[in-house]
Amino acid sequence: MQALSVKGLCLDFGGLRALWDVSFDIHIGERVAIIGPNGAGKTTLFNVLNGQLKATAGRVSLFGQDITRLTTYERVHLGMSRSFQLTTLFLNLTVLDNTLLAFQGILPSRFQLLKPLSSYRSLYHKARELLGSMALWEKRNEPVTTISYGEQRKLEIALALASRPKLLLLDEPNCGLTASENTEMIAQLRKLGTEITVILVAHDMDLVFGFAEKIIVFHYGKIISQGTCDEIRRDERVKEVYMRSQETSG
Amino acid sequence: MNPETTSWDRPPGRLRYVAWVPVALFFLFVPLFLPVYLQGILTKALIFAVFATSLNLLAGYTGLFSLGHAAFFGLAAYTSSILVVHYGLKSFWLVAPAGVFMAVLFACMFGFIALRVSGTNFFLVTLALGELLYSVAIKWKSMTGGTNGLVNTSAPNLGLSWLPVDPPFFYYLVLGVSAMSLLCLYFVTRSPLGVALQGIRESEPRMRALGYNTWLFKYLAFIIASAFAGVAGVLFAYHSRVLVPMHLGVTTSTLVMLMVIIGSDRVFLGPAVGAMVIILLEHPSSLYTPERWPLILGSIFVIAVMFLRGGISSFLEKTWEKAFYASAKR
Amino acid sequence: MESLSINVLNGIAFGMILFLIASGLSVIYGFMGVLNLAHGVFYILGAYFGLIVRRHEGSFVLAALAGGLAVGLLGLVLERVFLSLLHKRINEQVLLTLGFVYIFSNIVRWVWGPYAKLIDPPAFASGTIPIGSASYPLYRLVIILMGLAVAAGLWLLNNKTRAGSILRAGMDDREMTVGLGVNYGLVATVVFVLGAFVGGFAGFIGLPIVAVHPGIVFDILLLSLIVIIVGGVGRIEGVLLGSMIIGLIDSLGRAYFPEFAYFTMYIAMIIILLVKPTGLLGRAL
């Protein structure tokens, strides 16, 4: 059984085809990076995997179960979790509240309407553990708008981890981080256990080659190559795609 | 900034609880010394405090701004009055829940329709749905008396013969019900569901990516808000004694929205304060410039939206906090 | 009972009036995303201002334009002084327009009193013309033509001018248009003024058919809203379609089901909301 199995995924956006017959498999516990030039369709792929966008054709299976027709929140309950490229946090709520909401997402108590959230001690301790591991505990009572960008990115990942996902989708986790924050982030990601399968979208080659076991290369909504780090490093087509995109953007 | 979030580690703020003592004393005892019509004004203020707070659960907390909330208020009011006047049901214990039930029933239907859209469209659809009920109230003359209104001068019959029926009695009934309603709503806002609603307001996609069925939460918020608007409506029916279709329509819906914004949609008690302020201001205005009241109200509202980001309450609370924490730091 | 064709004609005429009423709102809502709740006020102000001009100048057409212009000017002031300060905060802008309703409808009541104003059609467009065996008021036909003219004008503006493409792009992606050097504040002001103008203009030319007084501000708004919900936001074709449908449903409803006539438009609205919430010609779900 694969952690994630994608077959023939296509997505049309009002006349334009954004994803072309995308197929790949991810093993349980694997670390995969999806790379490709800007606009190649990586975030769009995530949006389809996540359920935010409906595929025009194709199938997505999570741990053997067909999830193609499921809503985003149903997928979360099946073990999928995602972080966003553009920080998507609850800006006017405190760091702690953001985290508590993330923990509650898969708990039946989220529908509870009379007991105060503050009375859920176990959630509080879980939040403490998670935020502590990311050095965010001191900032727990600050509204998210007041913490630094780097801290927001960390929180972004923390929220995705709260539901103890089996499959974690990270969209450009180190986007906009300083060099030291970046190193810290890579270390954090390395600490994740093998019970979690991780797929990340990234531009930073240090992150990609330092973290991923398998790389999938995207271009214009199609997979042009997939393989191990060494295989991709040697792949001529990949070099060509990147060189060409360097020229056009350079 | 939403100061209504959970945090165990904030200083216990004992001062906050102490502040309630004079408020409680005021509401419990002062009315006994006031002339009846002033008691009436306080009663109306309490009713609208509940009504406005119920709207804020939808608006400030969930981000769903409804311009049709009076539909549920008026529906409950009309239902209870109709039961008393046309069907001879006297008991408050039958009539009041029936009123609230009607409000909730319609909320189940209207919520389903209104939640087909979001954002600014929500203003549109809720306004239209509210006006639909308004039209029904005008046309269905046999039930509602149309624009002539529905008159019900009986006092709420609690079936307790030992209770006096003098004026302050109704005030205390309203005080009790309002206090309980506000407390209930407060607990809802602090509950997991309440915080989830705030999450939805902040970022619905993120909530969905965390496992929340956001449509369901919005629907629940709609129903809870309508239920409490219904509670206020039932009390209003007894207070006002005459109900007209206007009580269901856009004029009342916009009035209560004004109360929410003027008082602050970011603080739990904001709408209640807004309701008090407006109802208390309405009184001298009706004495001196009754014709210009909407102009005055509109101007206050515009000022509130433009300058008092978050309304009067938030402004006061910030000033209050600055004053207190400044002195506490010593 | 009148013939079917008369009822249909009435429906179209009413639909055109609805179109004229709703287009002002749709322009602002479609291009700026701001729901101008004061739309009804703009409508009646156009009528009142136009009446002043008519009393002094006598020309119907001039009065209509003057009415529109006066309201456009008011819209300019309101947008520049108030709305633009709440840049990007759409909910607050909508609420602000709510405040304007209270303020301006009360001012209208103060200055002109609560009485309804209705006028006769202008000399060149009054009287009736024979249609089949009945005589049909000429002004209603004029209204139909007027509505089509406004629709055509707005459509051309939207689809054939550079300004129009900027507006459409801005609707989809504000950041990008700003990045392309478009002064979004200016665009917002122009849109608001245009919407106000159309709203005021419609108020005056509708006067021979729709009596105007401060109490109708929410009714006008409501009619516009229903038209927009049914037809879809953002496109003039949508508003036109929506108003035609509502006009016809209302007219035929009155003829064949008089008891429920009033509610037919609500029923249409609810059906659309359940089946296609973005409106018939609105964006796909």
Interface test with B, best of C98, C104, C226, C265 (most B CBs within 10 A): C98
**Which whole-number Å values give the CA distances from C277 to B125, B307, C268, in the listed order?**
10, 35, 12
Any domain includes B8: no
Query: Are B135 and C262 an interchain contact pair (Cβ–Cβ within 8 Å)?
Result: yes
Number of domains in chain B: 1
Which of the listed residues A113, A140, A163 is the one where a domain comes to its end? Answer: A163
Identify which of B66, B45, B44 has the alpha carbon closest to the alpha carbon of residue B55: B66
Same domain for A68 and A128?
no
Are A102 and A157 within one domain? yes
Q: How far apart are CA A130 and CA B153, in angstroms?
A: 61
Phi, psi (rounded to 5 degrees) for A113: -120, 5
Q: How far is B111 from chain C (nearest CA, A)?
A: 12
Is B179 among the domain residues? Answer: yes
Asked if B128's CB is within 8 angstroms of C269's CB, the reply is yes
Contact B53, B178 (CB under 8 A): no
ipTM: 0.91
Same domain, A134 and A188: no
Q: Is residue A36 part of a domain?
A: yes
Domain that holds residue A209: 1-79+165-249
d(CA C40, CA B250): 13
Model confidence, pTM: 0.90
Domain co-membership, A106 together with A159: yes
Give residue-wise pLDDT tens across range A194-249: 889 999 998 888 888 888 899 999 888 888 888 888 888 888 888 777 766 555 55
Residue A84 lies in a domain: no
Integer Cα distance of B256 and A111 in angstroms: 28
**A74 and A173 both lie in a single domain:** yes
Rounded CA-CA distance B10/B16 in Å is: 12
Closest chain B residue by Cα to residue A124? B8
Chain C segment 8-67 residues within 8 A of B by beta carbon are 29, 33-35, 37
- Chains sharing 3 or more CB pairs under 8 A with chain B: A, C
Say if CB C83 and CB C96 are below 8 A apart.
yes
Beta carbons of B7 and A116 less than 8 Å apart: no
Query: Which residue from B127, B131, B305 is facing C99, i.e. has the nearest CB?
Result: B305
Q: Is residue B4 part of a domain?
A: no
Helix intervals (H) in C33-173: 39-57, 60-81, 90-112, 138-160, 162-172
> Quick one: which H or E segment has residue B92?
helix B92-114
Q: Tell me the sheet residues that pair with A19.
A: A11
Q: Which of A115, A142, A163 is the last residue of a domain?
A: A163
The CA-based dihedral angle spanning residues A24, A25, A29, A30, taken in that order and rounded to the nearest 10 degrees: -40
- B2, B205, B211 ranked by CB distance to A92: nearest: B2
Q: Give the residue from A163, A183, A209 where a domain finishes.
A: A163
Q: How many domains does chain A have?
A: 2
Verify whether the Cβ–Cβ distance C91 to B139 is below 8 Å: no
List the CATH number of the domain containing B188. Answer: 1.10.3470
Which positions in chain B touch A91 (Cβ < 8 Å)? 202-203
Rg (CA), chain A: 19
- The verdict on a CB contact (< 8 Å) between A97 and B5 is yes
**A196 in the same domain as A171:** yes
The enclosing H or E element of A228 equals strand A222-228
Say if B2 falls within a structural domain: no
Kindly state whether residue B239 falls inside one of the protein's structural domains.
yes
Residues A73 and A96 in one domain: no
Q: B188 contacts in A (CB within 8 Å)?
A: 113-114
Structural domain span for residue B263: 15-23+37-329
Q: Does domain C2-275 have CATH number 3.40.50?
A: no
Residues β-bridged to residue A26: A4
Strand, coil or helix: what is B62?
coil
Same domain for A188 and A153 = no
Nearest CA in chain B to C95: B305
Assign residue C279 a region (left: φ > 0; alpha: ψ between -120 and 50; beta: otherwise): left
Q: What are the backbone angles phi and psi of residue A171, rounded to the nearest 5°?
A: -95, 110
DSSP annotation of B59 reads I
With contacts defined as CB-CB under 8 Å, which chain C residues touch B261? 95
- Residue A227, domain CATH: 3.40.50.300
B2/A143 CB distance under 8 A: yes
What digits encode the pLDDT tens for the residues C90-146? Answer: 888 899 999 999 999 999 999 998 888 888 877 777 778 777 777 788 888 888 888
Q: Does the beta-carbon distance from A71 to B5 stay under 8 Å? A: no
Question: Helix, strand, or coil here: A116?
Answer: coil
Say if B103 falls within a structural domain. yes
Asked whether C24 and C18 are in contact (CB, 8 A), the reply is no
SS3 A225: strand
A111 touches chain B (CB under 8 A): yes
Along the 330 residues of chain B, how does pLDDT read in single tens digits?
344 444 444 444 556 677 788 888 888 888 888 888 888 999 999 999 999 999 999 999 999 999 999 999 999 999 999 999 888 888 888 999 999 999 999 999 999 999 998 888 899 999 999 999 999 998 888 888 888 888 887 777 777 766 666 678 889 999 999 999 999 999 999 999 999 999 999 999 999 999 999 999 999 999 999 999 999 999 999 999 899 999 999 999 999 999 999 988 888 999 999 999 999 999 888 888 888 899 999 999 998 888 776 556 666 777 777 776 665 554
Q: List CB contacts of B57: < 8 A, sequence separation 6 or more.
A: B185, B188, B189, B194, B197, B221, B224, B225, B228
Same domain, A68 and A107: no
